[in-house]
Amino acid sequence: MASIFKRGGRKAPRDAPWYIAYSVRPGLRRTVKGCADYEATRALARKLEADAMLRRKGVVDERAEQWAAAEARPLAEHVADFAAALRAKGNTQKHVKGTEKLVKRVAELAKATKLSDLTPSRVQGALADLRATRLSLSRCNHALRAVKSFCRWLAADGRTPGNALAHLRGFNVKTDRRRVRRSLTDGELARLIRAARTGPDLMGASGSDRAALYCVALGTGFRANELRSLTRQSFALDADPPTITVEAGYSKRRRRDCQPIPPALAEASARGSQTRRPASRCSRCPTRRPRCCGRTCTRPARSGLQRRRRQRSGRSASGATSWPTATRRDGCPTSIR
């Protein structure tokens, strides 16, 4: 039985609102605010009691009420909650901001203001609008993956009955290849390492440190942040085969990566790590981007030779793509990355 009362008892003002205390289920009572009219508050109390009884009997589905409450909230609030969930899982700030930005962009193009507006047809139309802006198919697939992960999270969090975008498929990026990468040749690799070793200090790293980083990157395939995490303890140079290990906290896959390396790289690494402490960084990795025209560049400038070579061949030399070729050529087993 619901009870109706005023806070403060007889001392409460005449126009003070009434409050309702009712039983949701055995052992759980809830208090809600009514209005200044006693009869209207009494009618609300009867309604609350009847709804609670229907829920206990299983006539009213609590999940349907949860979905209705989520539908009443603006879509922007759900996107903000999704971004907070990604941060709580330990994702990088770059990943969280990029995913949130793509979800908001698709929702804006789809003119979606609530959850029910994220229908497959509207999302497909938003992706078509992205393509009309000359965005590559790869970037369109990134946007689709972001909004599909958002819908999966909504379903897993109990905000929607299911993932409405589960059947949507990405585009074939092979039909819109904007940049074709190739492996560096042996001569190009030698010139790159020689130029780094004899070059001046750049971005806080000496020439010898940059040359050592290039050698390790080409021999392992590790990324920049993974290279920054390497210490003397990361190198198992006496093992068979010798390995370099990146801990899970620094790996992009969030897994411990143990990468075999060629014997020549192991010998060079052994000579360079003898004078370093076990917990110290093995080499100073560049920590900032070059400055150009008084401001920080988002992408290092290419030389005229590199630009002409790229325009002539339509290819971009990439050290990451050279790693499998170099390791196979040296006869070193490669782990799956």
State residue 308's pLDDT score: 42
State residue 28's pLDDT score: 84
Integer Cα distance of 42 and 265 in angstroms:
82
Number of domains present in the structure of the chain: 3
191 and 275 housed in the same domain:
yes
State residue 318's pLDDT score: 41
State residue 62's pLDDT score: 74
**Which amino acid is located at 27 in the chain?**
G
146 and 202 housed in the same domain:
no
Residue numbers of the domain that contains 162 = 71-176
Query: Is residue 311, in this structure, part of any structural domain at all?
Result: no
Q: What residue spans of 181-286 are helical by DSSP H?
A: 186-198, 207-220, 224-228, 263-273
* Per-residue pLDDT tens over the stretch 37-47: 989 999 998 88
Q: Residues 163, 152: contact at Cβ < 8 Å?
A: yes
Q: How many CB atoms lie within 10 A of CB 208?
A: 15
9 and 56 housed in the same domain:
yes
Please give the average per-residue pLDDT across 49-68, as a whole number: 78
State residue 121's pLDDT score: 94
212 and 162 housed in the same domain:
no
166 and 259 housed in the same domain:
no
The CATH number linked to 139 is 1.10.150.130
Q: Taking the mean position of all CA atoms in its chain, how far away is CA 43? A: 49
State residue 332's pLDDT score: 47
Q: How many CB atoms lie within 10 A of CB 42?
A: 15
Query: Is residue 274, in this structure, part of any structural domain at all?
Result: yes
CA dihedral of residues 178, 181, 187, 192 (deg, nearest 10): 80
Q: Taking the mean position of all CA atoms in its chain, how far away is CA 329? A: 34
State residue 252's pLDDT score: 79
Query: Is residue 182, in this structure, part of any structural domain at all?
Result: no
**Band of the pLDDT at 272, cuts 50, 70, 90?**
low
120: its two tokens: 């497959």
Q: Residues 42, 79: contact at Cβ < 8 Å?
A: no
State residue 72's pLDDT score: 92
**Band of the pLDDT at 88, cuts 50, 70, 90?**
very high
Q: Residues 261, 332: contact at Cβ < 8 Å?
A: yes
Query: Is residue 37, in this structure, part of any structural domain at all?
Result: yes
Query: Is residue 193, in this structure, part of any structural domain at all?
Result: yes
For the chain, give the mean pLDDT: 80
116 and 199 housed in the same domain:
no
* Closest to 75 measured CA to CA, from 109, 125, 118: 118
Please give the average per-residue pLDDT across 108-129, as a whole number: 94
* Closest to 336 measured CA to CA, from 267, 257, 279: 257
149 and 233 housed in the same domain:
no
208 and 168 housed in the same domain:
no
Q: What residue spans of 113-206 are helical by DSSP H?
A: 120-132, 137-156, 186-198
45 and 125 housed in the same domain:
no
Query: Is residue 299, in this structure, part of any structural domain at all?
Result: no
Instruction: Pick the last residue of a domain from 34, 60, 86.
Output: 60
Query: Is residue 308, in this structure, part of any structural domain at all?
Result: no
State residue 60's pLDDT score: 66
Instruction: Pick the last residue of a domain from 135, 157, 176.
Output: 176
* Per-residue pLDDT tens over the stretch 212-263: 888 888 888 888 888 888 888 888 888 888 899 988 888 878 888 888 988 8
Q: Residues 79, 103: contact at Cβ < 8 Å?
A: yes
10 and 125 housed in the same domain:
no
Please give the average per-residue pLDDT across 174-187, as a whole number: 83
251 and 275 housed in the same domain:
yes
State residue 200's pLDDT score: 87
* Per-residue pLDDT tens over the stretch 276-325: 555 556 555 665 555 444 444 444 434 444 444 444 443 333 445 555 55
The helix or strand, by DSSP H or E, that contains position 295, with its residue range, turns out to be strand 295-296
How far is the CA of 58 from the CAs of 55, 64, 87, 126, 310, in angstroms? 5, 12, 37, 40, 68
Instruction: Pick the last residue of a domain from 176, 200, 233.
Output: 176
Query: Is residue 309, in this structure, part of any structural domain at all?
Result: no
**Band of the pLDDT at 191, cuts 50, 70, 90?**
very high
Residue, of 201 and 110, whose pLDDT is higher: 110
323 and 199 housed in the same domain:
yes
Q: Does residue 79 register a pLDDT over 80? A: yes
